[in-house]
A and B are shown apart, each in its own frame.
Chain A
Amino acid sequence: MRTLRFLLQKEFRQIFRDPAIIRIIFMMPALQLIILPLAADYEVKNIQISVIDHDHSDYSRRLTNKITSSGYFKLSQYTGSYNAALNNVEKDKSDLILEIPAKFEKDLIKENEAGLFVAVNAINGVKANLGASYLQSIVRDYNSDVRLKWIQMPRFSPELNIEVASSNWFNPHMNYQIFMVPGILVVLVTMVGSFLASLNIVREKEIGTIEQINVTPVKKYQFIIGKLIPFWLLGLVIMTIGFVIARVVYGIVPLGSFLTIYAFAGVYLLAVLGLGLLISTYTSTQQQAMLLSFFMMMVFILLSGLYTSVDSMPEWAKWVTRFNPVTYFIEVMRMVVLKGSSIADIKNHIFILLGFAVFLNSWAIINYKKRS
Chain B
Amino acid sequence: MKQFTSFIRKEFHHIFRDRRTMFILLFMPVAQIIIFGFALTNEVKNSQIAILDNAKDADAASLITQIGNSRYFNIEKTLYTQKEIDEVFKLGKIKMVMVLPQNFGSDLQHFNHAQVQLIADASDPNVASTLTNYASVVITDYQKRITNEKKLPYTINTEIRMLYNPQGKGAYSFVPGVMAMVLMLVCTMMTAITVVREKEMGTMEIMLVSPVRPLKIIIAKAVPYLLLSMINVASILLLSVFVLDVPINGSLVLLIAESILFTLTCLAFGLLISTVTDSQQTAMFISLTGMFLPTVMLSGFMFPIENMPLPLQIISNIVPAKWFYIIVKNVMIKGTGFNIVWKETLILAFMLFALLGLAIKKFKIRLA
Instruction: List chain A positions with a Cβ less than 8 A from chain B.
Output: 20-21, 24, 27-28, 31-32, 35-36, 38-46, 89-92, 108-109, 112-129, 132-133, 135-136, 139, 142-143, 146-147, 150-151, 156-172, 174-176, 178-179, 199, 203, 283, 285-288, 290-292, 294-295, 298-299, 302-303, 307-309, 311-314, 317, 320, 331, 334-335, 338-342, 345
Contacts and interface: CB of A to CB of B under 8 A. Distances in A.
A311 B285 contact: no
A180 to B, nearest CB: 10
A311 B46 contact: yes
Interface of B: 18, 20-21, 24-25, 28, 31-32, 35-36, 38-48, 85, 89-92, 95, 108, 112-129, 132-133, 135-136, 139-140, 142-143, 146-147, 150, 152-166, 168-170, 172-173, 185, 189-190, 193-194, 197, 279-282, 284-285, 289, 293, 297-298, 302-304, 306-309, 312, 326, 329-330, 333-334, 336, 340
A308 B169 CA distance: 15
B143 A167 contact: no
20 contacts: A20-B279, A36-B297, A42-B42, A42-B303, A43-B125, A45-B307, A113-B154, A115-B156, A136-B158, A164-B115, A166-B117, A168-B125, A168-B129, A287-B18, A287-B193, A290-B193, A291-B20, A308-B40, A309-B127, A339-B121
Contacts of A335: 90, 92
Given A41-B303, A129-B168, A118 B161 contact: yes
A132 B162 CA distance: 9
Contacts of B154: 108-109, 112-113, 143, 146-147, 150-151
A346 B91 CA distance: 8
Nearest to B285: A24
B162 A128 contact: yes
Contact of B340 (A91, A308, A311, A341): A91
Contacts of A309: 44, 124, 127
Nearest to B14: A287
Contacts of A159: 112, 147, 150
A345 B142 CA distance: 36
Contact of B124 (A21, A46, A179): A179
Contacts of A135: 158
Contacts of A127: 304
B165 A167 contact: no
Nearest to A291: B24
Contact of A312 (B45, B85, B279): B45
A199 B281 CA distance: 8
B330 A90 contact: yes
